[in-house]
Amino acid sequence: MEYRLKASNNRSLAISIVILLLIAILALGVCFRLIKVNQQLTEDLVNNRQIIIQPLGANKEFAFSGAKGDARYLRLIALSFLNLRLNVSKETVQANHDLLLAYACEGQRKVMLPVLAEEKKRITLTEGSSVFYPQVLRVAADTGLVDITGDLVFTYGMKSSDPLPKHYQIRMDTRNDGLCYNAFVEVPVEN
The string of pLDDT tens digits covering residues 139-156 is: 988 888 999 999 999 888
Higher-scoring residue by pLDDT: 157, 105: 105
Element (H, E) at 33: helix 2-46
Please determine, for residue 57, whether its predicted confidence score (pLDDT) is greater than 70: no
Give dist(CA 182, CA 155) in Å, integer.
Answer: 30
Give dist(CA 100, CA 109) in Å, integer.
Answer: 9
Task: Please enumerate in sequence order all residues whose Cβ is within 8 A of that of 179, keeping only pairs 6 or more positions apart, or say none.
Answer: 53, 64, 69, 77, 103, 172, 173
Q: What is the pLDDT of residue 51?
A: 65
Please determine, for residue 50, whether its predicted confidence score (pLDDT) is greater than 70: no
- Does the domain formed by 51-186 have CATH 3.10.450.230? yes
Give dist(CA 99, CA 43) in Å, integer.
Answer: 38
Domain residue ranges in the chain: 1-48, 51-186
Residue 97's pLDDT band (cuts 50, 70, 90): very high
Element (H, E) at 42: helix 2-46
Residue 172's pLDDT band (cuts 50, 70, 90): confident
pTM listed for this prediction: 0.66
Please determine, for residue 7, whether its predicted confidence score (pLDDT) is greater than 90: no
